[in-house]
Chains A and B, each alone.
Chain A
């Protein structure tokens, strides 16, 4: 199995640090969510992994071999991003053929079925497509290339709700049929919350969370109740945020709870992924830590 490893990857533009030593191991046949706020470094990271831009320091390896100018490794990776890599004069079906040449294979059957389902005209020229349909043809390419690592940078950009639903269905279907690794970078966290198995959160160029979704959520708690009781119960815990409503207080805790006795008036709920993300990456969030 192909193992993709990032070790201490750094990227600087002049004095500005975009990635500050990212170390992540991407497992085979796993769907990842790559989350981060605008400017956190998600796209830079994906561009470095797929060798589109060079890292300032650190390495990306597949099976312990550096991916830089390593055609064999690069054939196993495909990055779908906002960047337009194809000539705007090319027709969609010509892009399919060109991809097939570059990757030594392409699932034309699936591509034509998906084009039909999404209502994409494969004879249209790339440059003439709307934002939504440009996303759609790129998604189709991403789902039909024979690579083991598919990186999707904002895959649903410009897609309406019906097309997003169709995309997620198709993703689940094709993943079940041919398991491979997908890394989905998106701001629409709720939509992928149940789809991803593992989670990587980056904040200002560093990895904040790298864990399974199940483990992460098991560590995330919402403590709700009267102000004084909630404060007492959460004392000493890793509080990542709080809100108040009258005398009621909600505290968000990330990490283990201790064995203090829970007062009758205090309730513990689970936290959803989006809420966790917001609290963990809030700029003012740090002030809440006691």
Chain B
């Protein structure tokens, strides 16, 4: 597993840890029902304070992406991938569309030009 942590991001470290783990689950690095590394393992491997790792993990617990099995550790929930997908669909507008429109404005691209490009993107991706 690899963590891409960005020290120049405004996002606090624990949120970055949560997102990296979520990414690993979404990209099938960990299957549904599979155990994820413990706080200590992640803390050791990436030299991150265990309290920070735990805070990040607790976010995924509250979003029901991972769950604690008493005495055994943390496991990926049954519908984790579907949950991540729905969450990311909801965030798609603010994460991508808003930024795209903003950038298009800076570049003097018209609405129609942007729509044409999206069309082209779909065609070439088929």
Interface residues of A (CB under 8 A from B): 31, 165, 168-169, 172-173, 175-177, 191-197, 214, 217-218, 221-222, 264, 268-273
Contacts and interface: CB of A to CB of B under 8 A. Distances in A.
Contact of A176 (B5, B7, B9, B43): B43
Contact of A195 (B40, B49, B106): B49
Main secondary structure of the interface of B (DSSP, over half): helix
Contact of A194 (B8, B52, B102, B106): B52
Nearest to B11: A270
7 contacts: A175-B50, A176-B39, A196-B49, A214-B13, A269-B9, A270-B9, A272-B8
A213 to B, nearest CB: 8
B87 interface: no
Contacts of A165: 47
Nearest to A169: B44
B44 A172 contact: yes
Given A191-B47, A218-B12, A269-B8, A197 B52 contact: yes
A264 B106 contact: yes
A159 to B, nearest CB: 14
Q: Which of the listed residues A173, A176, A196, A268 has the most CB atoms from chain B within 10 Å of its own CB? A: A176
B48 A197 contact: no
A173 B47 CA distance: 10
B54 to A, nearest CB: 10
A168 B49 CA distance: 10
Interface string B18-48: 0000000000000000000001100111111
B108 interface: no
A194 B46 contact: yes
Interface in B49-75: 49-52
Name the residue in A177, A193, A194, A273 with the highest tally of chain B Cβ atoms < 10 Å from its Cβ.
Answer: A194
Nearest to A177: B40
B49 A194 contact: yes
B45 A194 contact: no
Nearest to B42: A172
B90 interface: no
Nearest to B16: A194
B51 A194 contact: no
A18 B69 CA distance: 53
A216 to B, nearest CB: 11
